[in-house]
Every structure is written in structure tokens, then in C-alpha cells.
Amino acid sequence: MTYVATDRPRIGWIGAGRMGYQLAARLLDAGHDVAVYNRTRAKAEPLAEKGATIVDRPDQLADRDVVFVMVSASADLQSVTTGPGGVLTAGSAPKVLIDSSTVSTEASALVRDEATKRGTDFLAAPVSGNPKVIAAGMLTVAVSGPREVYEAVEPLLNLLGRGVTYVGDDEVARLVKIAHNVFLGVVTQSLAEITLLAEKGGVRRAAFLEFLNDSVMGSVFTRYKSPALVNLDFTPTFTNVLLRKDFDLGLAAARELEVPMPVASATAQLVQSAVGAGHTADDFATLILEQARRSGVTLEPEGTAVDDGLTEETR
């Protein structure tokens, strides 16, 4: 079965954590009929004020046209799709299942097979961003699966952010996202190292990062992460524990594909060091604290206003 697009598909959403909540809200703000399931119901209930229907089990979304999933790990994806009460276990099944979680290729393929048995089209659609990036309209999405299904739901995907890229068949979007997140960790560790080098040499972090961000080496990401590094605000957007999971997935893919990744391998050990030091619940920018410890530097917040480069979009 190939899904035929409609102007107003009935949407289901599974997973109302920091990311899922914000993305479901975007679909609601665009006027869509959205029903939401979250393991902890209370986290989803505020979406009812935007018009969402809150359900108690994933299988209560089985009659929806399109169901999005955004959960934390491979086991969670399998639980909400093929486990007891999963969205693929009811008498009916959604026309399209779109998974935006960061999970393994193997887990994605298993769910794709089960979806196909139920006559449900499946797209892997992992995203890049965090709640503030979503609010700024700068989220990006990599999508793999049947091209005709992607084209049918592309208008919905475009509501999630600024960039949606079709990257190929089957599960290749998973590899795209994992490669992205490995690079995220490598860049952040490198940024911590050079920032500490400059600081130990007598340069304020705010001054060094301002120079870097205005140079050709600066990026949207380095500018966005600068306030955390300058003022040591580690309000979580993505934790070291989640980053460690993505390094594990990335290095496993590298072994399977016989691609040497010496820089990524070294960074994975430094992320593990940060987890071992107790930096588990705060933002992964805490990598700079471990770099400071190894460098014999005691960091203090600089108390400097730093532009993160993100501007909230007008909805």
C-alpha cells in the first residue's frame, strides 16, 4: 500500500519529551488534528490546550493516517510499535509510520518489516536540533524509505523545521543521523580544547569565541554553543549519556563498514570520561569541564551576554 496524501491527514504522535512535545505543537499550531501518546501522560496533557487529543496507549493511534514516533532508544521504538499495546498491534494500522528517533539500523529495519506486514508505509526520519532550534524554525530532517511515500508526506515534514532531505532507501537516514551526531561530539570536544588553550594563555572565553564565530571557522553550531561555554550554563539540550549512545552506534557502523575513525574513537573515550565523572544529566557542553580539569584550570562563569545566533520565529 502506498499512502495517498490528503490536505488534512489525521495525525498520531508518540513521544512528548523535550523534542517530541515541541514538534507535535508545531503540527497543532498549523491546524492539524493530532492525537498524542506519551508514557508519562502528564507530560503530554498541556498539548490538549492546543487542541490535541491525549490517549493512554499507542494502539489507540492505529486508526490515524500518519503516526510520528519520537522516543529515546531502540528498545522504546520497538515497545511503542510492536510491543504489547503498540501502534502496529491493533485491529487496524496507520497508513504511514514516521520514526524520528535516533535508533539503530537493526531496530529500524525490524519495525519496517512489521509495518510492511500490516500494510503500513514506513519512513525513517531522524532529526537534528533541540527545543530552542525547533522554536527558531531551524530543525533539519533526514528521511529514507519509499520515495513516493516521502513525497506524499513531505508537506507535514516541512512543518517541523527548515530543511528536509531525502537521503535514500530503507534505513540509510539512520546512518546519516548517527554520522551527524558523531561529528557533533567531535566538534564540541575540539571546541572545548581550543577554548581552554586560549583561556590558559590569558584570553577570555567570550573574546576567543567571538573571534572564532566571526571567522570562516565559525558555524551556526559554534555560535549556538558559545553561551554555554562562556557562562557555564549547562541546561540540558542533549546529554553525554545520549551522545555516548550515538558514538556507540557510529563506531559499530564503522566496524561493520570497515571505516577507520581514530578521531571519533578518541572522542568517544572522552565522552565516556565525562559520564564517569558524573556529567550525566546536564548538557554535553560539560565536556569543557573535563577538559578544564585535565588542563589544570578552574572555570568560572564570565557573566557575559553572548548571542547564540538563534532568533525565535514568528508563528
* 154 and 254 belong to one structural domain: no
Q: Phi/psi class of residue 2: alpha, beta or left (left: φ > 0; alpha: ψ in -120 to 50)?
A: beta
Residue 120 lies in a domain: yes
Task: Say what the pLDDT of residue 258 is.
Answer: 98
Provide the pairing of β-strand 140-144 with 127-128. Answer: antiparallel
- DSSP structure class, residue 153: H
User: Which residue has cell 589544570?
Assistant: 296
Domain count, the chain: 2
Cβ atoms of 170 and 207 closer than 8 Å: no
How many C-beta atoms lie closer than 10 Å to residue 26's C-beta? 19
Band of residue 102 on the pLDDT scale cut at 50, 70, 90: confident
* 84 and 195 belong to one structural domain: no
Residue 1 lies in a domain: no
Cβ atoms of 188 and 247 closer than 8 Å: no
Residue 301 lies in a domain: no
Cβ atoms of 149 and 120 closer than 8 Å: no
* 166 and 25 belong to one structural domain: yes
Residue 66 lies in a domain: yes
CA dist 32 → 25, 133, 183 (Å): 10, 22, 35
* 84 and 162 belong to one structural domain: yes
CATH of residue 84's domain is 3.40.50.720
* 213 and 146 belong to one structural domain: no
Band of residue 253 on the pLDDT scale cut at 50, 70, 90: very high
CATH of residue 221's domain is 1.10.1040.10
Kindly report, residue by residue over 30-88, the tens digit of the pLDDT.
999 999 999 999 999 999 999 999 999 999 999 999 999 999 889 999 999 999 999 99
* 87 and 154 belong to one structural domain: yes
Residue 4 lies in a domain: no
**Interatomic CA distance for residues 34 and 148, integer angstroms:** 23
Residue 306 lies in a domain: no
* 128 and 25 belong to one structural domain: yes
Global confidence as pTM: 0.89
Residue 39 lies in a domain: yes
Residue 132 lies in a domain: yes
Task: Say what the pLDDT of residue 87 is.
Answer: 98
Q: Domain range holding 160?
A: 11-170
* 187 and 163 belong to one structural domain: no
* 45 and 164 belong to one structural domain: yes
* 185 and 153 belong to one structural domain: no
Mean pLDDT value of segment 308-312:
78
Q: Which of 111, 138, 170 is the last residue of a domain?
A: 170
Torsions phi, psi for 46 (to 5 deg): -60, -25
Task: Say what the pLDDT of residue 104 is.
Answer: 87
* 165 and 180 belong to one structural domain: no
* 75 and 98 belong to one structural domain: yes
In this predicted structure, the answer to whether residue 8 has a pLDDT above a threshold of 70 is yes
